[in-house]
Amino acid sequence: MPIPGPHVHQQLISAYHQTAAKLERIRGELGQIEVQREKLEDDREHTLTKLATYYLPDLTPESIQETWAEIRPTMREILLRKQNRVREYEADLQDQNRIRSHLEDELVRLNTRLDEAEKQQQEIADQVEKALRENPQFIELSQHASMAEAALERAEANLDEISQDAARKLPAYQSCRLFNYLLDRHYGTPKYEHKGVNRRMDRWIAKLVDYPQSKRNYDYLTTTPATMRTVIAEDRLALDTVLDELDRHRDEAAQQCGLLSQIQTAESLRQERESIVTQLDQASRQCETTQSELTRLEAPQCEFHAEAISVFRNMLAQSTSDDLRQEARRTPEITDDQIVASLRGIETEMTRTDRTTDECDERLRLGQEVYEAVGRLTQRFRASGYDRGNCQFSESLDVAGFVDRARNAADIEDLWQSIRRLQSWGPTTMDKITSVATHPMTQVMINAMAHAAAGAMSDHARRAGQRGSRNRRGW
């Protein structure tokens, strides 16, 4: 069975939450890796202390420890500032998620109210149409309108044909010098005053160009289109008069049944829905921005990490493992060689941890990309009206599975293409509204006129109503 649009909308919301939870899990893994790295750094610090104590027997362990104590507070202070920043973002994210969740719930409730309002609107519209179809005056007027429309369409078609004929033939008359010579002299009319040789010469020219027939054709081509336009304009005014009367019957029936009030109610709900969708989009973007900041704080390029790394590097600037290994080789004892080997082992493990961190960072980056892409997809889904009750999708659509398998934003774009491909509009209370007559009041009259005219004149009645909606009203 087809999947209703609201169900797919809920699946997208759930997928959005799941991608956010996945980001939290990855950040948790990064936190564990950070703990492991801190332990390795502590081990390296202890090893360096042992090595320094070995090489500097005149320095007491207390003095070495005192040196490290000067660094630890700096590192702890940097970590504390980072943790405070993370807590601020987490608090912001919690508030933003609460607002977004409230808006999502409100949108679901509003969609239900809007579906019900449109259903009631269509039921009332059907009542208005029924009343009009049973109104003898409306039936008679509809039949007049359909006949007038049929005649008007024929006249307009004839005008187009004659206008094209005139455009094609008139240039030949206008370019004929002999014809225009006689035309300018008003030959064959009471205004012609020439006599004698001139008259005989003009008569000869008229015979040469068959002027009487040419003049009749010329007059027909020049005057008939204008005459027809005048007649058509009068016919249109007459049709408008009939349509105005039809409008009056329609408006009276709509007023009695409460259609206008219901249309306003539905339109108010649609505007409210647009407002909530806009707020929801803003709330989602705020959540994504905060999530992005949390993700950034876990990245190596984070300002806190960069500061801590700088401090640590400055601390170890004069005690690299290679330098220490060279120094150990110069001594006959193996104790320092063992300490340096332990230090190199710790640094190798730290390098491996760095690679794991890089892999985790990449997963976090791609996870953030998928999270934002799902958010954008959900916004497009709502903007397209796919969360409405009259929208449905093929049962083969698997949103949760698609998002779970997604590795980047391109995969989510593929999901959007699948959603569009598998989407269709099911039976709707508003399915009678056409692209020509989009307002319910106009559609009510067109449907009633088509039914009242009936038979072969039904289409003419429908087109007459559409003509009126284009030319006379703002419906």
How much is the pLDDT for 97?
A: 92
- Residue 340 neighbours by CB under 8 Å, 6+ apart: 51, 321, 324, 325, 328
- The predicted pLDDT at position 427 comes to 58
pLDDT of residue 57: 37
For residue 51, pLDDT over 60 is answered with no
Query: 76-122: per-residue pLDDT in tens?
Result: 777 788 889 888 999 999 999 999 999 999 999 999 999 999 999 99
Q: What is the pLDDT of residues 239-291, one digit of tens each?
A: 888 889 888 989 999 999 999 999 999 999 999 999 999 999 999 999 989 98
User: What is the CB neighbour count within 10 angstroms for residue 144?
Assistant: 20
Inter-helix orientation angle 335-383/259-297, to 10°: 170
User: Structure tokens of 50?
Assistant: 């042992």
Percent of the chain beyond pLDDT 70? 77
Q: How confident is the model at residue 328 (pLDDT cuts 50, 70, 90)?
A: low
Residues 22, 364: Cα–Cα separation, whole Å: 9
Task: Render 76-138 in DSSP notation, one character per residue.
Answer: HHHHHHHHHHHHHHHHHHHHHHHHHHHHHHHHHHHHHHHHHHHHHHHHHHHHHHHHHHT-HHH
Predicted confidence band of residue 336 (pLDDT cuts 50, 70, 90): low
pLDDT tens, position by position, 6-25 = 998 988 888 888 888 888 88
Element (H, E) at 449: helix 440-453
CA distance 240 to 97: 56
Q: pLDDT, tens digit, for every residue of 303-318?
A: 876 676 666 555 544 5
The least confident of 61-65, 131-135, 296-300, 399-403 is 61-65
Q: How far apart, in whole angstroms, are the C-alpha atoms of residue 451 and residue 249?
A: 15
Please state the separation of Cα 280 from the chain's center in Å.
Answer: 14
Q: Residue 47 has what pLDDT?
A: 66
Report angle CA 24, 29, 35 to the nearest 5 degrees. 125
What are the residues facing 399 on neighbouring strands? Answer: none
Residue whose token pair is 């007027």: 141
DSSP letter at 62? H
Strand order in the sheet with 423-425: 3-4, 391-393, 423-425
For 239, residues 6+ apart whose C-beta sits below 8 A from its C-beta are 145, 148, 149, 152, 464, 467, 468
Do 294 and 89 form a contact (C-beta atoms < 8 A)?
yes
Amino acid symbol at 400: A
pLDDT at 98: 94
State the average pLDDT over residues 165-180.
88
The backbone torsions φ and ψ at residue 391, rounded to the nearest 5 degrees and listed phi first, read: -100, 140
Q: Give me the pLDDT at residue 472, please.
A: 53
CA-angle at 115, arms to 112 and 116, nearest 5°: 85
At 115 the pLDDT is 92
How distant is the alpha carbon of residue 130 from its chain centre?
Answer: 38
**Stronger pLDDT, 304 or 375, i.e. the higher one:** 375
Amino acid 55: pLDDT: 44
Question: How is the chain split into domains, by residue range?
Answer: 3-130+263-425, 134-260
Most confident of 22-31, 225-234, 405-414: 225-234
Check pLDDT > 50 for residue 65: no
Longest dimension (CA), the chain: 148
pTM of the model: 0.59
Lowest mean pLDDT among 147-151, 336-340, 347-351: 336-340
285 burial via Cβ count (<10 Å: 0-12, 13-18, 19+) = middle
Encoded tokens for 261: 């009030």
* pLDDT, position 266: 93
pLDDT in tens, 350-366: 777 777 777 777 788 88
CA distance 71 to 79: 13
